[in-house]
Amino acid sequence: MILVDKRAGSHELVALLGTMGLPVEETTLDFGDLLFEGQAQGKSVSVVIEHKKIGDLVNAFRTGRLPGHQALGMQEFDYRYLLIEGELLYDRYGLLLRRRGRRAFSIIHGGMTIGELMKRVWREQLEVGLTPIFSHSRRDTLKLIEALYHVWTEPGHSHIAIHTPPTLLPLSQFRKTVLTLPEIGVRTSAAVEKFFGSSLRYAFNASLGVWADIPITNDKGKTRKLGAKDAAKIVAALE
Q: What is the CA radius of gyration of the chain?
A: 20
Cα 76 from Cα 96, distance rounded (Å) = 32
For the chain, list the domains and their CATH numbers.
2-153 (3.40.50.10130), 173-238 (1.10.150)
Amino acid found at 4: V
Residue 138 vs residues 38, 80, 87, 92, 135: alpha-carbon distances, Å: 24, 20, 11, 27, 7
**Which residues are within 8 A (CB) of 101 and not within 5 positions of it... i.e. 6 or more apart?**
none
Mean pLDDT per 10-residue section of the chain, whose length is 239 residues: 82 86 89 90 88 93 89 88 92 91 90 91 88 92 93 69 50 80 83 90 90 85 89 85
0.75 surpassed by pTM: no
The per-residue pLDDT for 170 is 58
The per-residue pLDDT for 11 is 75
Beta strands in the chain (DSSP E): 2-5, 24-27, 34-40, 43-53, 79-85, 89-90, 96-99, 105-107, 130-135, 215-217, 223-225
Taking a C-beta distance cutoff of 8 angstroms, is the pair 89, 139 a contact?
A: no
